[in-house]
Chain A
């Protein structure tokens, strides 16, 4: 299958990005150095093209009841201009996808989903749309940039009259940026370093990208690829679909009970309520290497006796901590903070310790 390209594809090539296939798209992995890009986001500001993400609109008088049924978080807690993190539970105790739900206005919701799951999510929504809400897939026409880092606000404020400091976390406005109208300016992100995510139509994507890069000259803004996006989110302990959560992991096992509102009805809520009552068998934990070594996805996790107690789901070198960190599922009895575990790295068992997430404080 031919890989899809985002509206910014040519820009990435011009910038000399190392391009890789990701979720059916040809995406920038890194432009210069992953560590440099990571540190720019932590210390100043960086700009990501994440237009591969999917956007669905759910509209009409039935919109609320459909989204409420499909997602685990409580949509009635949203108001206009607010967003929430959520997931689509499946009917067998797993997760179809994790997503953001935006309340654009009364009876209009935008669901932002993972690129790798656009088809699966769409089919799931259509199959369960017994309410006949209006559902539209805008993924191929919508670009998404993430402007992240402590100086993101300084950069973006030069381009808009919207008072950015007045947009609380997980809130958004729709306004003009760099002369482009109807940009969704969302105070969200996947890095932990603050900033904004900007939704814009494909035809205005390049103009918006260029305007932001120019505005950020003084702040030394740089483009940042998916490699640093992964290390940034891992340091925060944010789940990545396909690694830390999937069709077989429950939101309760994944530490997502905070978005699993069992006091409202949704698909498979009964099963999850029962699981909560009985307690989960395995839990997603974060761990830090004590001895030198870098944990990677699918490495085995062992106890002191050498018995396998789980598996790494995400891992790598933390640029901020300069040591190996990871996440993985372990039997619940080994999930307590400060428990010593061992990661099987090639022929050796390397000592690690379970840590509270996030790994770093910002």
Chain B
């Protein structure tokens, strides 16, 4: 299982990388495999304030649909426009070009609940 060590993970199968106060968020390799061919990310909260665990959008695969939850509290400031035209990037490069959104973390919001790669691995290993 591909789980980069420099990323943090949520129990809802998102990965997060934090630089300054901006969290870049995507879905894990495990999640993209489970969903299968991804065709559309419906971001419902651009420019909105969200709480931790709020639904920020919905990811549509050919056969199934899954909510994406905010791993941190903050404001959704950017959508990856590349996946608007090439949603398959989420399958082919989930930790790179297939990122979903950037969230400006609310001042004082906690990120301590996020898992490291070993913690996430334990969660998804049967």
Measuring CB to CB, which residues of chain A are less than 8 angstroms from any residue of chain B? 18, 29-30, 33-35, 227, 230-231, 292-294, 296, 316-317, 319, 322, 346-347
Q: Are B63 and A230 in contact (CB under 8 A)?
A: yes
For chain B, the count of residues having a C-beta within 8 Å of the partner chain is 12
Contact partners of A294 in chain B: CB under 8 A:
39-40, 60, 65
- Whether B65 pairs with A347 at a CB distance below 8 angstroms is no
Closest B residue to A319 by CB, please name it. B62
Q: Is the CB of B36 within 8 A of A317?
A: no
Would you mind naming 8 contact pairs between A and B with Cβ atoms under 8 Å apart? Answer: A34-B63, A227-B62, A230-B63, A292-B40, A296-B65, A317-B40, A319-B62, A346-B44
B58 in complex: contacting residue of A18, A33, A227, A346, CB < 8 Å: A346
- How many A-B pairs have beta carbons closer than 8 Å: the answer is 40
Query: With A34-B36, A292-B40, A294-B39 in contact, is A317–B62 under 8 Å at CB?
Result: yes
Q: How far is the CB of B28 from chain A (nearest CB, A)?
A: 16
Task: Let me know if B52 is at the binding interface, CB within 8 A.
Answer: no
Q: Which of B36, B39, B60, B91 contacts A227 (CB 8 A)?
A: B36
Tell me, yes or no, whether B47 is within 8 Å of chain A by CB: no
Chain A, residue nearest B67 (CB)? A346
Contacts of B60 in A (CB 8 A): 294, 317
B36, B42, B91: the one contacting A293 at CB < 8 Å is: B42
The CA of A230 and the CA of B60, in the complex, are separated in Å by 16
User: Closest 7 CB pairs between A and B?
Assistant: A317-B39, A35-B37, A294-B60, A317-B62, A34-B62, A227-B63, A34-B37
Rounded to whole Å, the gap between the CB of B31 and the closest CB of chain A is: 14
Q: How far is it, in angstroms, between the C-alpha of A347 and the C-alpha of B67 when the chains are bound?
A: 13
Give min CB distance, A359 to chain B, whole Å.
15
Docked Cα-Cα span, A317 to B40, in Å, equals 9
Q: Tell me the B107-121 residues at the A interface (CB within 8 Å).
A: none
Please determine whether B40 and A33 come into contact, CB atoms closer than 8 angstroms.
no
Q: Measured between alpha carbons, how far is A292 from B87 in the docked complex, in Å?
A: 13
For the complex with contacts A34-B37, A317-B40, A319-B62, 18 further pairs of A-B residues with Cβ separation under 8 Å are A18-B36, A29-B36, A33-B37, A33-B91, A35-B62, A227-B63, A292-B42, A293-B42, A294-B39, A294-B40, A294-B65, A296-B65, A316-B62, A316-B63, A317-B39, A317-B60, A346-B42, A347-B44
Chain A residues with CB under 8 A of B62: 34-35, 227, 231, 316-317, 319
Interface string of B47-80 (1 = CB under 8 A from A): 0000000000010101101000000000000000
Which residues on the B side are within 8 Å of A322 (C-beta)? 39
